[in-house]
C-alpha cells in the first residue's frame, strides 16, 4: 500500500486495507479474519494463480495446526459471500485458486 490508496476496488467489491472492511455494492460483508486474509491476498494479485500453500501461510499463524482441506473450506465460504456481486474465484485443480478479473460492462448499441 505504500504510495497507494488504502481502498481497493474489484468490480462491485471494495476493500479498505486499513480498516480491513469489505463491501459489496456498499453493503458491508461479514467475513472472518481468515476470509479477510484470503480476500486481501487475492485482491493484491488479481488474475494470478495462488497456490494452496501460499494461501495457507498467509492466513494461518506459524506452527498452527490446520486440516489439509482448510483452504478449500475458507475459499468456499468466501465464494458464497462474494457470489451476489459476481466476484469469482476460480479453481485450478491440484494447484490453487485465482481471483478472476471483473467482466467488462457491455455498452448498449
Per-residue model confidence (pLDDT) at position 102: 75
- What pLDDT, on the 0 to 100 scale, is given for residue 109? 47
Backbone φ and ψ for 6, nearest 5 degrees, come out as -75, -10
CA 43/CA 38 separation, integer angstroms: 9
* 13-34 pLDDT tens trace: 999 999 999 999 999 999 999 9
Kindly write down the DSSP assignment for every residue of 43-67, as one continuous string.
Answer: HHSTT-EEEHHHHHHHHS-TT----
| 106 has pLDDT over 60 | no
* Residue owning grid cell 497456490: 51
7-99: which CATH architecture? Answer: Orthogonal Bundle (1.10)
More confident residue, 99 or 2: 99
Main-chain phi, psi angles of 7, to 5 degrees: -100, 125
Reported pTM: 0.84
For the chain, what are the domain ranges?
7-99
N-terminal to C-terminal alpha carbon distance within the chain? 39
Amino acid at each position: 500500500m505504500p504510495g497507494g490508496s488504502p481502498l481497493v476496488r474489484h468490480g462491485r467489491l471494495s476493500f479498505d486495507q486499513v480498516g480491513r472492511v469489505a463491501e459489496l455494492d456498499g453493503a458491508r460483508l461479514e467475513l472472518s479474519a481468515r476470509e479477510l486474509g484470503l480476500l486481501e491476498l487475492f485482491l493484491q494479485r488479481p488474475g494470478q494463480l495462488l497456490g494452496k500453500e501460499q494461501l495457507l501461510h498467509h492466513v494461518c499463524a506459524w506452527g498452527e495446526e490446520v486440516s489439509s482441506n482448510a483452504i478449500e473450506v475458507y475459499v468456499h465460504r468466501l465464494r458464497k459471500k462474494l457470489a451476489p456481486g459476481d466476484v469469482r474465484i476460480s479453481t485450478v485443480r491440484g494447484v490453487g485458486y485465482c481471483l478472476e478479473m471483473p467482466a467488462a460492462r457491455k455498452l448498449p448499441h
